[in-house]
Structure 1
Amino acid sequence: MATIAQYSDLPNLAGTEIGPSDWMDVTQEAINTFADATDDHQWIHVDPERAAAGPFGAPIAHGFLTLALLVPLQSAVFDVEGVTTKVNYGLDKVRFVSPVKAGARIRLVGTIAEVVEVSGGYQLVVDATIEIEGGTKPAVVARSLQRFYA
């Protein structure tokens, strides 16, 4: 279920849980496209035959691909209305805990840890976790920063 907040409500959102998002497929095609975009064609990502004999038994998504999927996953479960600008301001901490195998499904759960007033708007600090369906450990844990301006 998506949380839709009004800009005026942002100061009161610390502690709000967001998600879980719907599950998203991480396909070999998406991994290959990311490899082309970043010029990172390491065999563990793009060579299914060689990767099958590798340490994970299958090709795995780039950690930065999984991290990049935080944006659409979070956008599906949290939005702010009454703003003129939304900015992905950055990350304070990121850990790639478990690899995401090609064909796996991931989703996002998170908590708005802090809301800080900044010049002309608010910064939300979100403790986000990208889970792997059936996994015992998450794929990614990250503290993301987003800014909203009215």
Structure 2
Amino acid sequence: MAESIGTERVSDWVEVTQKMIDTFADATGDHQFIHVNPELAARTPFGGTIAHGFLSLSLMPMLAAKTDTPNIEGAKMGVNYGGNKTRFMQPVRSGSKVRGRFKLLSFTERKPGVWEQINEYTLEIEGADKPALIAEWISLIYV
């Protein structure tokens, strides 16, 4: 992995459906109308419902699995440790297709058997000139 620092990997495109948005709203209790009410959301500058910012962020593991990132030999588990920064650049409209772009920034051993991996995660929207979000995300890998 350390030899892959600076390498970018890109996922397949995935559609963000209204059903995904509604399910996320139910799971988090965030039922703000811009997410779940197409009629009211159509009257906003967004022109329709949009995904929650945290839904966009939480697509990261699924999109990462849709890349050609090699498995880490001997890894028992990986956990989210947090983010150094996250910026929501523009909303993801219901029905949009998104993909993840992952750039490995660092891979260092924190202590024996625990590695810290930092990736830049960019969520791109098909046909858009700027991404939905950019995050610098930290994971811990246990081997």
State the one-letter code of the partner of 2:12: D
Question: Could you tell me which of 80, 93, 98 is aligned with 1:106?
Answer: 98
SS across alignment from 1:83: coil
**C-alpha distance in structure 2 between counterparts of 1:126 and 1:115, whole Å:** 9
Corresponding position: 1:73 with 2:66: no
TM-score w.r.t. the length of structure 1 is 0.88
**C-alpha distance in structure 1 between counterparts of 2:46 and 2:132, whole Å:** 14
Corresponding position: 1:51 with 2:41: yes
Partner of 1:38: 28
- Calculate percent identity across the aligned residue pairs: 45
**C-alpha distance in structure 1 between counterparts of 2:79 and 2:24, whole Å:** 22
Corresponding position: 1:13 with 2:4: yes
Moved over 6 A (4+): none
In the TM superposition, residue 136 of structure 1 has moved relative to its aligned partner by 0.7
**C-alpha distance in structure 1 between counterparts of 2:136 and 2:52, whole Å:** 19
**C-alpha distance in structure 2 between counterparts of 1:66 and 1:149, whole Å:** 26
Gaps of 5+ in 1: 1-9
SS across alignment from 1:59: coil
TM-score w.r.t. the length of structure 2 is 0.92
Gaps of 5+ in 2: none
In the TM superposition, residue 147 of structure 1 has moved relative to its aligned partner by 1.7
Give the superposed CA RMSD: 1.1
Q: Deviations over 1:8-45 (max 9, x none)?
A: xx232211222x10001100011011111111111111
Matched residue count: 140
